Structure 1
Amino acid sequence: MDIGDEVIIKNVETKSDLKQFVDLQFRLYKGDPGWVPPLRSDQLKYVAGAGNYLNQAGPSTKLLALKNGEVVGRLLVGINEELNHDKGLKAGYLSLFESIDDEMVSTKLLDFAEEWLKGKGMDHMKGPFSLPGGDDNRGFLLDNFKDPTMIMNTYNKSYYPRMFENYGFEKYHDVFAYISDSKNENIKRYEKLVPYAMEKNHFTVDKIRLKEIQLEMKDVKEIIDKAMPKEWLDFIPPNDEEIQLIAKQLVPYADPDLIYIARNLKGEPIGFNIALPDYNEVLSKMNGSLFPLGIFKFLYYRRRIKGLRFFVLFVVPEYRNKGVSSAIYYHIFRSAVEKGYTHVEGSTIWDYNEPMKLDIEKYGGKIYKTYRIYTKKINK
């Protein structure tokens, strides 16, 4: 092999390295209509740990793969120590994988990640995952590379799953994106059922108060603490710092007509959701930059967003099967139609989350994208 064809792996250590880490995706996906360029400035902060829990969760390292002096691949590998401790695991996570279509590149990156995790006592690795504290970059898209990618969701090259499988990864779980539109006839049957359920089971559904976001997020944390199933191995309830981080991220982009908190008649929080307008519709017009004209495009197109993404919905155990989730869905759908939104994506729903899948399907949602998360035992 010519030495020029050798793949070299290096850690991201300098600002220049970090810029190359971010810039790779802009080169890889140039001209790809399925990919929405993020703001470069936001991505630089994101991969450095701003807006997520990367630097607090445990050790991590960012890798670059170089061939003939050019960056041709990247990967972030890390350990979420709090999650591992809570679940009794020795797992490492992989995130932000990108590569040219060359398995020498992917193999070198994954070899480095595996050795790094082995050196820290881990016995398996999983991914791709969101960075700790995030809800994006989860899994590799397996199908439907045609429909636009919604806000904070994954798009990747179609050969990425093959690269992981050829390396020895196996399916861990699939996660789904559901789609529904404003012409959904199923919603009409809830116009009478939802008020009846709310009266019978003594609860209300109210829009989130962004001006009182600190108080609202305390209620959100209380709901998550009670509602998140302990058997979910890849999730633990957010701590106080993470809740404040979510609040900080939420306020600039939230539409209060799309986020609701349900409470019983004592005022105790029993359920909530998060849904956001699909800002990817705006980002797709900006080519990764606010300047020189991006800010004007942002202000113009944000008022014309037609889609929204439904991220999460939690209901405390004692109020499940009492119409709380249906009431939240109904209020969101009604507001969305009134405000001119034409379609809703519910994602990403794990394959084992049967209650959530059934709720969405009752409302006429259909799976239109599938993402796969992989796992691999670490060779000793």
Structure 2
Amino acid sequence: MKSILITPVVTKNERKTFIDFPFDLYKDDHAWVPPLKGEALGLITPEKNGWFSHAKAQLFLAHEDGRVVGRIAAHIDTLGLTMPAEQGFGPGVGQWGLMEAEREEIFRALLADAEAWLRSQGMKQALGPISMSIWEEPGLLTQGFDHSPTIMMGHARPDYRGWIERAGYHKAKQLLTFDLDITREFPKIVQRIVKSGEANPRIRIRKVDKRRFDEEAAIILEILNDAWSDNWGFIPLTPPEIRDVGVKLKPIVFNDLIRIAELDGKPVAFMITLPDLNEVIKPFNGNLLPFNWAKLLWWLRAPKAETMRVPLMGVVKELQASRMASQLAFMMIEYIRRAAVANYGAWRAEIGWILEDNQGMLSIAEAIEGRVNKTYQIYRKSL
């Protein structure tokens, strides 16, 4: 039996090796989208990721016969430790993620070291995979392996589910994404709801103004942290994270794809839609050099994308479960649908992720005839 050696990642070169490993593992998987290596490296570098302002992590590599054969990250979000236990995180709950391995025994060896590190930090339970923040790529893909993920969503090997469950983990929560044909008008009942809202002088659905990026981001953040505060897995986004996410996403922020809903002049809801950048970067194989940077800049000048992704949507808590909340949601969805088709050539959208028990959002997705196209699962285990 071959000897598997697990080592902690310490140096800059080891971090690069950590990032490079999946490129070989997934080289024959047509659905995998190679991330831009610079962005992937920034995710695990404390100086470049605002999440580390309230979190810590230890990365591990697996070696066999002098070759890297797997990786994993163990991490603790200190804000997560302060959240109510019934919302998924809470005291004593650590996480692991960014897991990739060639074989199950390699995965088990990596997981053992990740769990040992979490225990050494006083953790009593582990959630995973979460890579690395709940706001980045949470969950293991368990359905939808045949097509590529959209921007900011993950991909995985089908084997991983069995490996995780045989390691003693059970389902904590399921996350769903919905596929939608946006070239078709929504059902008539949705159209009537939108028209009714348009006749209501109290309601205004406006585009964001990218020239006031910081101000608009602050408005959305305030609504988000209120709207999602009771959700499973919620950890408030912090200013350092917003700063870094803003730098990364600002180039693909377009005024007509992000809407803020105002009621009596007060912002009460928002919807963020992004062109699927994965369509553009997939052929780059993780590299912007020598000429891919020029291709990306050219695309950003007049982006065309088959797919749009709706990663975030929220309505302030005081309006949730009301008819007004649904009406605002349908209006924002319809206005963005029109813009996506007319201005970007899009024909489909992916909405999510949505928690399996978020009945309000599930009802909205079903009302506009969305269908589940990918399922992700977060697992839990006592340490």
Q: What TM-score does the superposition give when structure 1 sets the normalisation length?
A: 0.92
Change (3 A) 1:90 1:199: farther
In structure 1, the residue matched to 2:310 is: 310
Say how many residue pairs are matched: 371
% identical equivalent positions: 30
Q: Which residues in structure 2 correspond to 1:231-270 (within 5 Å)?
A: 232-265=231-264, 267-270=265-268
In structure 1, the residue matched to 2:277 is: 279
- 5+ unaligned residues in a row in structure 2: which ranges? 85-89
Q: What SS does structure 2 have at the residue aligned with 1:44? A: helix
Structure 1 position 285, deviation (Å)? 2.1
Structure 1 position 352, deviation (Å)? 1.6
Q: What do you get for the CA RMSD once the two structures are aligned? A: 1.8
Whole-angstrom CA distance in 2 between matches of 1:9 and 1:252:
39
Q: Deviations over 1:215-239 (max 9, x none)?
A: 1122112212332242x34213223
Whole-angstrom CA distance in 2 between matches of 1:263 and 1:301:
32
Change (3 A) 1:50 1:263: farther
Kindly provide the amino acid, as one letter, of the partner of residue 121 in structure 1: G
Q: What SS does structure 2 have at the residue aligned with 1:148? A: coil
Kindly provide the amino acid, as one letter, of the partner of residue 246 in structure 1: V
Q: Deviations over 1:319-358 (max 9, x none)?
A: 3421111111111111112121111001211112111111
Change (3 A) 1:297 1:50: farther
In structure 2, the residue matched to 1:326 is: 330
In structure 2, the residue matched to 1:108 is: 109
Q: What SS does structure 2 have at the residue aligned with 1:135? A: coil
Q: What SS does structure 1 have at the residue aligned with 2:82? A: helix
Query: Residues 124 and 377 of structure 1 are in contact (CA less than 8 Å); yes or no, is this contact kept in structure 2?
Result: yes
In structure 1, the residue matched to 2:93 is: 91
Q: Are 1:360 and 2:358 an aligned pair? A: no
Structure 1 position 192, deviation (Å)? 4.3
Structure 1 position 198, deviation (Å)? 4.4
Q: What SS does structure 1 have at the residue aligned with 2:252? A: coil
In structure 1, the residue matched to 2:76 is: 79
Structure 1 position 204, deviation (Å)? 0.7
Q: What TM-score does the superposition give when structure 2 sets the normalisation length?
A: 0.92
Structure 1 position 308, deviation (Å)? 0.9
Q: What SS does structure 2 have at the residue aligned with 1:121? A: coil
Q: Which residues in structure 2 correspond to 1:97-246 (within 5 Å)?
A: 97-100=99-102, 102-132=103-133, 135-187=135-187, 189-200=189-200, 202-230=202-230, 232-246=231-245
Q: What SS does structure 1 have at the residue aligned with 2:35? A: coil
Query: Residues 223 and 270 of structure 1 are in contact (CA less than 8 Å); yes or no, is this contact kept in structure 2?
Result: yes
Kindly provide the amino acid, as one letter, of the partner of residue 372 in structure 1: Q
Q: Are 1:20 and 2:17 an aligned pair? A: yes
Q: What SS does structure 2 have at the residue aligned with 1:194? A: helix
Q: Deviations over 1:248-291 (max 9, x none)?
A: 333112122111111122x3210011111000010112121111
Q: Deviations over 1:29-72 (max 9, x none)?
A: 11210001111122122221466434222221011011111111
Q: Which residues in structure 2 correspond to 1:280-299 (within 5 Å)?
A: 280-299=278-297
In structure 2, the residue matched to 1:348 is: 353
Q: What SS does structure 2 have at the residue aligned with 1:149? A: coil
Whole-angstrom CA distance in 1 between matches of 2:201 and 2:224:
21
In structure 2, the residue matched to 1:44 is: 41
- 5+ unaligned residues in a row in structure 1: which ranges? none
Whole-angstrom CA distance in 1 between matches of 2:244 and 2:297:
24
Query: Residues 136 and 154 of structure 1 are in contact (CA less than 8 Å); yes or no, is this contact kept in structure 2?
Result: no
In structure 2, the residue matched to 1:336 is: 340
Query: Residues 179 and 351 of structure 2 are in contact (CA less than 8 Å); yes or no, is this contact kept in structure 1?
Result: yes
Q: Deviations over 1:173-226 (max 9, x none)?
A: 111110001233425554443142244371211111111011112211221233
Whole-angstrom CA distance in 2 between matches of 1:229 and 1:187:
31
